[in-house]
């Protein structure tokens, strides 16, 4: 019998012995252990629960589990990838818990969920969760446990009503959504009575001590890696970017008080270090952090770094990465069109991208990975040609540097200025165009599945009517054809796929998440949208996707 992966864990915290009346909690990840234990968010929440004496926590993955309590009172899920909802429904069934909240009774635990997918737009999954945590776990987890303790022995309805009063805790069943018609958009979202908050505000942790790994294991997808969160959010605010807009404001961990002590702690148990964040190299003291890692005692450390801001790729950064066994660096450029980058607020010029490649090669890196995107609002054929030209210029400027362009399709995300745009129907053809143009030049072009982008957009912009559709697709499979089949079966009960995915929505219409307030109010997002559309080509519609 194979050894349990739990036996290979090296903990960087000390679990507490639970009190005799501790709350029995199952904390689940809807994927395999190797994937879940690589999630820094999952690690941190689990460790937070495991260090509380008033909680007895057991972990559950799709392939392995700890000894589970017979009568759990809370069952939590961390959801960081949309399609993992299938595994959540399967895990609920395996625990003999009804999939939908309306079918649960006092015999069942309260099912709560958190993570980036649910914080962005929980509505497609609203019928499956009793409680949803909107925002940062540093604040919300303690609030949930403390709030639950006060109503632990109350009836289920009372529990939910009381938890709804805690900032950032969203109880979907206490909100009634009406629609203009069965096949049209949202008409109104109302709390069921005046005791329930009309709006739920996402909670933001503003401290300068960010997250670090609580466990290191060879069984993780990133074997034996110790992860440190260097920054949270991103100051650039590209107008399509959920990672920036949802998590504002931009926060940096203190190098002296947080990062160096965390790194020293982790490197006592492993020699592999990962620096995480949407814009790691924009930490104001990043140079001093590099200097620290370049000390002789850390020469043996393998360093991985998340995607970096293009104009921070210096020869020094490249040399440091090479010294620490990293051969490539990843930058997000989105497009080769300076005009299009202005529209999306990507403050970057082609010359800076070319210089980053020159610096990468000069510092000894062997490859450069770039992230691009097609189907951005107001994208023209000429913009695609400029992406091809840019890649050819990079290849000429840094000969011998292996170039990879990973490319996705623009997907509208809730709480961003581009949430009102639909997916460009021509995006798949544009991916094919880039592939045809780039591969003959020795550039490794890696397009993301267009069909997956369509599913992503559906879940990103969906309302709670989609829960019935998701229940069907679970049995049909996760292909786009399965979703089309489910839409056909539910015809007349909800809008069609095009409404959610490809339609441009009007700035005045009520959105499925209009009762959920993220970092910036809708009025500010509309100003940012106007700044983009003011730069559109004269012939383009104010909101266009079919060009």
Task: Tell me what pLDDT residue 320 has.
Answer: 94
Reduce the secondary structure of 439-477 to three states and give it as a string: HHHCCEEEECCHHHHHHHHHHHHCCCCHHHHHHHHHHHC
Task: Tell me what pLDDT residue 340 has.
Answer: 97
What CATH architecture applies to the domain 5-175?
Answer: 3-Layer(aba) Sandwich (3.40)
Domains 5-175 and 224-448 equal at CATH topology level: no
Reported confidence tier of residue 547, pLDDT bands at 50, 70, 90: very low
CB 101 within 8 A of CB 173: yes
CA distances from 378 to 199, 244, 339, 456 (A): 33, 21, 10, 21
**Bridge pairing between strands 272-276 and 231-232:** unpaired
Q: Which two tokens stand for residue 125?
A: 């999954």
Helix axis angle, 466-476 relative to 85-94, nearest 10°?
80
Reported confidence tier of residue 539, pLDDT bands at 50, 70, 90: low
Helix (H, G, I), strand (E, B) or coil at 237: coil
* Domain 224-448: CATH class, spelled out: alpha beta
CA distance linking residue 418 with residue 387, whole number of Å: 21
Reported confidence tier of residue 31, pLDDT bands at 50, 70, 90: very high
CA distance linking residue 171 with residue 196, whole number of Å: 9
Find how far residue 465's CA is from the centre of its chain.
Answer: 23
Task: Tell me what pLDDT residue 545 has.
Answer: 38
Closest CA to 13 of 261, 211, 213: 213
**How large is the average pLDDT for residues 280-308?**
93
CB 232 within 8 A of CB 247: yes
CA distance linking residue 336 with residue 391, whole number of Å: 8
Question: pLDDT of 112-159, one tens digit each?
Answer: 999 999 999 999 999 999 999 999 999 999 999 999 999 999 999 999
CA distance linking residue 334 with residue 60, whole number of Å: 37
State yes or no: pLDDT of 302 exceeds 90. Answer: yes
Specify the DSSP element, H or E, that contains 343: helix 338-344
Reported confidence tier of residue 164, pLDDT bands at 50, 70, 90: very high
Task: Tell me what pLDDT residue 540 has.
Answer: 53
CA distance linking residue 371 with residue 328, whole number of Å: 13
Name which of 5-14, 188-197, 470-479, 521-530 the model is least confident about: 470-479
Question: pLDDT of 175-186, one tens digit each?
Answer: 999 999 999 999
Q: What angle do CA 184, 190, 192 make, to 5 degrees?
A: 130
Helix (H, G, I), strand (E, B) or coil at 499: helix
Q: What percent of the chain has pLDDT over 90?
A: 94
Reported confidence tier of residue 307, pLDDT bands at 50, 70, 90: confident
Reduce the secondary structure of 155-218 to three states and give it as a string: CHHHHHHHHCCCCCEECHHHEEEEECCCCCCEEEEEECCCCCCCCEECECCCCCCCCECCEECC
**How large is the average pLDDT for residues 356-377?**
97
Task: Tell me what pLDDT residue 2 has.
Answer: 60
Its pTM stands at: 0.95
Question: pLDDT of 321-350, one tens digit each?
Answer: 999 999 999 999 999 999 999 999 999 999
Q: Taking the CA of residue 201 as centre, how many other CA atoms within 13 Å lie in the half-sphere pointing to its CB?
A: 10
State yes or no: pLDDT of 443 exceeds 70. Answer: yes
State yes or no: pLDDT of 82 exceeds 70. Answer: yes
Task: Tell me what pLDDT residue 73 has.
Answer: 98
CA distances from 492 to 124, 229, 488 (A): 18, 46, 9
Kindly provide the b/e burial profile for residues 471-487, where b requires at least 16 CB atoms within 10 angstroms of the residue's own CB.
Answer: bebbeeeeebebbeebb
What are phi and psi for residue 356, nearest 5 degrees?
-60, -40
Task: Tell me what pLDDT residue 546 has.
Answer: 38
State yes or no: pLDDT of 206 exceeds 50. Answer: yes
Enumerate the domain spans of the chain: 5-175, 224-448
CB 189 within 8 A of CB 514: yes
Q: Which two tokens stand for residue 344?
A: 């999306």
CA distance linking residue 255 with residue 225, whole number of Å: 20
**How large is the average pLDDT for residues 272-285?**
93
CB 149 within 8 A of CB 164: no
Reported confidence tier of residue 477, pLDDT bands at 50, 70, 90: confident
Helix (H, G, I), strand (E, B) or coil at 67: coil
Q: Which two tokens stand for residue 467?
A: 């829960």
**How large is the average pLDDT for residues 69-75?**
97
Q: Which two tokens stand for residue 319?
A: 């040399």
CA distance linking residue 482 with residue 451, whole number of Å: 11
Reported confidence tier of residue 209, pLDDT bands at 50, 70, 90: confident
**How large is the average pLDDT for residues 269-275?**
97
State yes or no: pLDDT of 46 exceeds 50. Answer: yes
CA distance linking residue 527 with residue 376, whole number of Å: 18
Task: Tell me what pLDDT residue 543 has.
Answer: 46
Task: Tell me what pLDDT residue 55 has.
Answer: 98
**How large is the average pLDDT for residues 256-277?**
96
Task: Tell me what pLDDT residue 542 has.
Answer: 44
**How large is the average pLDDT for residues 508-537?**
96
CA distance linking residue 320 with residue 314, whole number of Å: 10
Closest CA to 408 of 362, 363, 370, 439: 370
CA distance linking residue 535 with residue 538, whole number of Å: 9
**How large is the average pLDDT for residues 299-314?**
92
Average pLDDT, the chain: 95
**How large is the average pLDDT for residues 285-296?**
93
Give the other-Cβ count within 10 Å of 241's Cβ. 23
CA distance linking residue 255 with residue 209, whole number of Å: 9
Closest CA to 236 of 528, 539, 545, 547: 528
């Amino acid at each position: 019998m194979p050894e349990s992966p739990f036996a290979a864990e090296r903990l960087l915290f000390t679990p507490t012995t639970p009190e005799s009346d501790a709350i029995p909690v199952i904390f689940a990840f809807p994927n395999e252990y190797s994937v879940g234990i690589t999630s820094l968010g999952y690690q941190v929440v689990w460790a937070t629960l495991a260090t509380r004496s008033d909680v007895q926590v057991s972990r559950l993955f799709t392939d392995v589990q700890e000894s589970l309590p017979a009568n759990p009172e809370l069952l939590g899920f961390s959801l960081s990838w949309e399609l993992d909802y299938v595994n959540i429904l399967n895990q609920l069934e395996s625990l003999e818990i009804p999939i939908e909240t309306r079918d649960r009774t006092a015999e069942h635990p309260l099912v709560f969920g958190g993570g980036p997918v649910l914080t962005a737009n929980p509505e497609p999954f609203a019928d499956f969760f009793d409680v949803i945590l909107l925002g940062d776990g540093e604040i919300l987890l303690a609030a949930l446990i403390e709030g639950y303790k006060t109503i632990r022995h109350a009836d289920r309805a009372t529990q939910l009503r009381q938890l709804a009063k805690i900032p950032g805790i969203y109880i979907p069943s206490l909100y009634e959504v009406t629609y203009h018609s069965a096949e049209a958009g949202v008409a109104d979202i109302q709390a069921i009575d005046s005791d329930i908050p009309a709006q739920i505000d996402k909670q933001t942790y503003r401290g300068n001590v960010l997250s670090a790994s609580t466990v290191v294991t060879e069984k993780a997808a990133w074997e034996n890696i110790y992860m440190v969160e260097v920054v949270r959010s991103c100051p650039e605010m590209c107008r399509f970017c959920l990672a920036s807009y949802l998590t504002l404001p931009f926060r940096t961990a203190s190098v002296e008080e947080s990062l160096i002590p965390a790194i020293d702690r982790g490197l006592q148990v492993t020699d592999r270090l990962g620096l995480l964040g949407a814009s790691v190299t924009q930490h104001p003291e990043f140079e001093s952090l590099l200097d620290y890692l370049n000390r002789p005692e850390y020469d043996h450390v393998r360093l991985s770094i998340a995607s970096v801001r293009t104009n921070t790729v210096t020869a020094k950064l490249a040399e440091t990465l090479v010294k620490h066994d990293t051969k490539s660096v990843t930058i997000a450029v989105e497009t080769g069109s300076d005009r299009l980058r202005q529209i999306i607020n990507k403050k970057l010029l082609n010359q800076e991208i070319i210089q980053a490649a020159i610096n990468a090669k000069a510092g000894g890196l062997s490859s450069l990975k770039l992230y691009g995107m097609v189907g951005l609002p107001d994208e023209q054929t000429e913009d695609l040609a400029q992406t091809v030209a840019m890649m050819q210029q990079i290849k000429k400027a840094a000969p011998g540097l292996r170039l990879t362009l990973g490319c996705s399709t623009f997907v509208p995300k809730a709480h961003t200025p581009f949430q009102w745009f639909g997916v460009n129907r021509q995006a798949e053809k544009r991916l094919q165009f880039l592939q045809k143009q780039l591969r003959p030049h020795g550039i490794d072009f890696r397009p993301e599945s267009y069909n997956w982008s369509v599913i992503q957009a559906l879940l990103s912009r969906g309302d709670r009517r989609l829960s019935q559709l998701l229940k069907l697709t679970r049995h049909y499979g996760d292909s786009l054809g399965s979703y089309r089949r489910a839409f056909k079966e539910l015809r007349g009960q909800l809008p069609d796929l095009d409404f959610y995915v490809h339609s441009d929505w009007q700035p005045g219409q009520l959105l499925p998440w209009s009762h959920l307030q993220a970092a910036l109010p809708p009025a500010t997002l509309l100003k940012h949208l106007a700044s983009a559309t003011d730069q559109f080509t004269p012939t383009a519609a104010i909101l266009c996707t079919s060009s």
